[in-house]
Amino acid sequence: MPLARISLPSGRTDEYKKSLADGVLRALVETFNVPQDDQFMVLSEHAPQDFIYNRGYLGIERSDGFVMIQLTVSNTRPLEKKRALYRRIVELLADNPGIRREDVFINLIEVLPENWSFGNGEAQYVKD
C-alpha cells in the first residue's frame, strides 16, 4: 500500500533508477510486511536549479548524489518498524546502486487505511 515518490538529480541511467525503486520496495517488504507485488512508485528527475536541499543540515554532508524518498503509508506501524525501514533503505541503496548513506533523505506521510483506493472507486482497506 505505500506510495513512493522518489526525487533525484537528472541524468541517472534506467538501471540506476530501477535499482533505486527495487531497493525501496525490498526494504518495505522486509520491514513493513508489504506484499512483493504492492509497488506504486513515481520517480522524478530534477535539474540542479529545481532540486534544492541543504548540503549540511544537522551535520550531514550531502553530495550531488542526494535523493529524496517520500513514502505515504497507513498509520499502522510503531516507531521501531519505521527505524528499521530507514536503516534498511539506506543499507540496500548503499549496496546498489551505490548511494552514499548521507545522501538518502526519507519522509513518511501516514494516513488512515480508509484513505486508499486501488481502483474501482472502492476503499479496499475498509471493512464494512
Q: How many CA atoms lie within 13 A of 126 on its CB side?
A: 10
Where do the DSSP E strands lie in the chain? 3-9, 40-46, 67-74, 104-111
Q: What is the largest distance, in Å, between two alpha-carbon atoms of the chain?
A: 49
Question: Global pTM?
Answer: 0.92
Tell whether 53 is covered by a domain: yes
For residue 58, what are the CA distances in angstroms to 54, 62, 100? 9, 11, 16
Tell whether 18 is covered by a domain: yes
What CATH number corresponds to the domain at position 32?
Answer: 3.30.429.10
For residue 125, pLDDT over 90 is answered with no
Q: What is the mean pLDDT of the chain?
A: 95
Tell whether 124 is covered by a domain: no
Mean pLDDT of 110-115: 90
Q: How confident is the model at residue 52 (pLDDT cuts 50, 70, 90)?
A: very high
Q: How confident is the model at residue 119 (pLDDT cuts 50, 70, 90)?
A: very high
Tell whether 125 is covered by a domain: no
Tell whether 62 is covered by a domain: yes
Catalytic residue (choose from 2, 9, 48, 113)? 2
Instruction: Determine whether 2 is an active site residue.
Output: yes
Q: Which three cell numbers stand for residue 78?
A: 510503531
- Please give the single-letter amino acid code of residue 73: V
Number of structural domains (the chain) is 1
For residue 32, pLDDT over 80 is answered with yes
| Residue numbers of the domain that contains 48 | 3-115
Tell whether 16 is covered by a domain: yes
**CA 38, CA 103: separation in Å to the nearest integer?**
26
Tell whether 96 is covered by a domain: yes
Higher pLDDT, 50 or 127: 50
Tell whether 120 is covered by a domain: no
